[in-house]
Amino acid sequence: MSTVKIIPKELTYSIRQEVLRKGKPIESCYFDGDSNESTFHFGIYINKELAGIATLLETKTDLIENDAQYQLRGMAVLDLYRKKNIGTELLKKIERFCIENEKEILWFNARKTAIEFYKKSGYEILGKEFEIENIGTHFLMFKKLI
């Protein structure tokens, strides 16, 4: 049984560190915008254990001409729960949240290794690949929700 709910930002840090910032200090897991009033942190729980997280920021990319945007950041699922549709379930809940809040576009910088996961959910690449220092190759991806 899984449950997705809004969580405090502090609960995202250990999963961000384990999945997205392996071997890096916990401070590397504090993202700009984490404390904004318009930022939401989501957690997916499996049998009361936090299995995955994601953050939703009210910010836009200038590459898309639409003001109704959210940026997805720091989406991560613990290794134990990978390949069990946990990430897909979390992403769908976040998409519903965006639609309920009248955000037409959901976008993010996706790691090269996650491209196929997002494509399966209808996301498209916009532009060319780019490097995020000390993290790796990324692509901007987006989906029109409304």
In angstroms, rounded to a whole number, what is the distance separating the alpha carbons of residues 10 and 31? 11
Mean pLDDT over residues 99-110, rounded?
A: 97
Q: Which band of pLDDT confidence, cut at 50, 70 and 90, is reported for residue 1? A: confident
Give the position of tokens 């000390």: 134
Percent of the chain predicted with pLDDT > 70: 100
- What is the pTM assigned to this prediction? 0.94
Q: What strand order describes the sheet that includes 69-77?
A: 2-6, 40-46, 49-57, 69-77, 105-111, 136-144, 124-132
Ranges assigned E (strand) in 63-104: 69-77
Q: Give which of 14, 12, 21 is closest to 132, Cα–Cα.
A: 21
User: Looking at 5-9, 14-18, 133-137, which range is the least confident one?
Assistant: 133-137
pLDDT of residue 116: 96
Does residue 133 carry a pLDDT above 90?
no
